[in-house]
Structure 1
């Protein structure tokens, strides 16, 4: 079949479904049975159907558009990365479509499909978890995908981040060196690899290095919100924690204010180290000590890596690790 003449009607006929169903699949509408979606996608791949007439008419098949998937637009960590992405995209004359996935696995797949339907040339994914479903979609995608500030524990997807294990290990070791005996580990959901396999690993390594036994009662799994941090105060005290490593700045601000409201003196009675060094660390009192990450650079390098992949240029390193630091402010002694 001549590629230029493949229409939605051909796809519908080949897949033995209605045109409405094909349209729903192409637009990432969730109301399609998985088996039907799979069948339609197979036909689309086989016929190389391009739903967009403009894109189909362009011999180059390029839209110079990049999709950026962000889990939470309001989270300062991700919006700082987005600035770096945006600047480099402008430099290389790519337009950006920004999509918010609400930290929801099903919505992430849906958003990814919607961006594919819009014929993007590449995708930058910022999310806290790469599920198997997402990995399958990445592999199926004709457009290259780069992770920014996210981890794929299989290492298959090109990515840009810091060494989270080493960073957390150093932050926790610092607390222990200053006399902390019971360091709490406060993080987002443990089903996210970044928490369970990277941050927690660094935490455990620091304890082991200091000859301290790992204590499950000092691990607090919550969501990334300020409210969640604020309400942890009674539990932290009940666990006899004397300090905490926190996996998100907004969460850390909540922990800090919850303790302060309860009359606990930070840092003299309780020390806190957070993980992203966003501007929130400077907005609270006492200011929060933090692992530092080159947030803008993570976004910028991820976008530059994506431009190379989209242009089929040579790429030396698919998984780029940028340097981190430790910024001591007033929430530690």
Structure 2
């Protein structure tokens, strides 16, 4: 038979009301009594009924985290940062993977509302108006990570993706590379990945270089897109001596395809990735990349959300964290 709150009260020698106050962290209980209750909870292995508590407090101490790709090496580190902070404040986490599918994102938002989560940390494949409207309609307290909405209505934690890719492309240009290709995601959606193409365009424009359509491939952030882009570049017949990739996975696919076609990296073509996944540091050749502070992005976002849930003021609601260019063996 499951342990009840009545059993805890009996073991601690206090009233059920006192146990309830301890569970709900109400300060009127003195420290000695609180310790007795906590010791009794631990001894009996009591776990409060979250649903019953939520009906009374209107809070479940649960936060939803929605990510676009659970197979990516980038997002788990964000989740780890968020989860570490959630545990400090005794929040539980529900993790949802949208697989870059906007309809799936909407469905998960509805599910999280039904599960009565207190708030959501949201990494979106596209912040379209209908998704933002749904978040508002569901009245979900939300912090965005990696991408921010155009009006800045939602708190967010990002880096400057435009400047980051600009700096990566500029670095290649400074090495004497003039024929640059780009493999990534179209900039027609409101997301961080589209902003990376804008940074690429800006760097070439600044250096008085042209963006050639044949040397631009829009697809996904996955390995296969890197191979697809290189095949396109080779088939075009256009000369290229550098490739800027919107993710490290793309860079890996690109390098493998170049190798399969007898093209050496970086002797013939320099390749730069994005995110600084662990695999990028052990791949051959080790991949030059832009690093994002992924763990910090998750931990900062969770702290922001918990402050919002507890009606505390935020020092700021739009955090733009630092990035860094990591120079390795895939570039000259």
Instruction: Give me the TM-score of the superposition, normalised by structure 2.
Output: 0.80
2:313 counterpart of 1:275: no
Equivalent position of 2:92 in the other structure: 95
Corresponding residue for 1:303? 302
1:293 aligns with 2:308: no
Deviation at 1:219, TM superposition (A): 1.6
* Separation in structure 2 between the aligned mates of residue 87 and residue 195 of structure 1, nearest angstrom: 24
- The Cα offsets for residues 299-323 of structure 1, whole Å up to 9 and x where unpaired, read as 1111111111111110121110000
| Distance in 1, Cα, partners of 2:282 & 2:125 | 24
Report the equivalent of 1:22.
Answer: none
1:1-333 superposed matches below 5 A: 54=52, 57-58=55-56, 60-194=57-191, 198-237=195-234, 238=236, 239-333=238-332
Is the contact between residue 51 and residue 60 of structure 2 (CA under 8 Å) also seen in structure 1?
no
Partners of 2:158 and 2:192 in 1: CA distance: 14
| C-alpha spacing 1:220/1:249, structure 2 compared with 1 (3 Å) | same
User: How many pairs are equivalent?
Assistant: 281
- TM-score with structure 1 length normalisation? 0.80
Secondary structure (helix, strand or coil) at the match of 2:65 reads strand
CA distance in 1, matches of 2:211, 2:233: 16
Distance 1:84 1:325 in 2: 19
The alignment yields a C-alpha RMSD, in angstroms, of: 1.7
What secondary structure, in the 3-state scheme, does the structure 2 residue paired with 1:291 have?
strand
In structure 2, distance between residues paired with 1:201 and 1:251: 17
Query: What is the CA-CA distance between 1:245 and the residue it aligns to?
Result: 0.8
> How far is the alpha carbon of 1:223 from its aligned partner?
1.6
Q: Deviation at 1:62?
A: 0.9
User: Gaps spanning 5+ residues in structure 1: where?
Assistant: 1-51
Displacement of 1:280 after TM fit?
A: 2.0
| Gap runs ≥5 in structure 2 | 1-49
